[in-house]
Amino acid sequence: MMRVFLDTNILIDIVARRSKFYKAASNVFNLGILGSVELVTTSMSYATCVYICQREMPYQDVIMVLQQLDSYVKIAPMNGAQCQRALHADAVDFEDMLQYEAALGGGCDVVVTRNGKHFPKDGIPIMTPEQFLQFYMDEESE
């Protein structure tokens, strides 16, 4: 089964129901709910999601939504070696490199994000939700 790493911005789109991004993000998430893909993220993504979303909605509502989503998401472990590689990577966004290292360590096949410009261009494919949904449909039709 395909392992799909969800970047923090995708979780925020779902939890905050950001109108411009919610549909595509929720369609990716629904593939996980249906058991068609395995969804993966990090505990850091959960923490950042709470921090950002509680600006727009009550803290307890954010936690409640994450609790509902949590049964469909695996948490990729993060460790010191991953942090060291992210620190020494030739990159402009440390947090994105931490996410990428967690995706690698978690055996993910793809990273889904709305902001792929700071992720490495080689290695795990980096896709927007829309790109991933098209990729998934193309794979299923073969």
The CA-atom distances, in angstroms, between 122 and each of 13, 31, 56 are 26, 25, 36
pLDDT of the residue at 24: 97
Handedness of CA 56, 118, 98, 76 (dihedral sign): positive
pLDDT at 31 over 80: yes
- Over residues 20-45, the mean pLDDT reads 97
The pTM of this model reads 0.93
**What are the two backbone dihedrals, phi and then psi, of residue 4, each rounded to the nearest 5 degrees?**
-115, 115
Could you report the per-residue pLDDT of 36-77, keeping only the tens digit for each?
A: 999 999 999 999 999 999 999 999 999 999 999 999 999 999
| 60: its two tokens | 């307890």
The CA-atom distances, in angstroms, between 27 and each of 20, 35, 79, 130, 136 are 13, 13, 30, 9, 11
Could you report the per-residue pLDDT of 99-136, keeping only the tens digit for each?
A: 998 999 999 999 999 999 889 888 999 999 999 999 99
Cβ–Cβ under 8 Å, residues 11 and 51: no
pLDDT of the residue at 6: 98
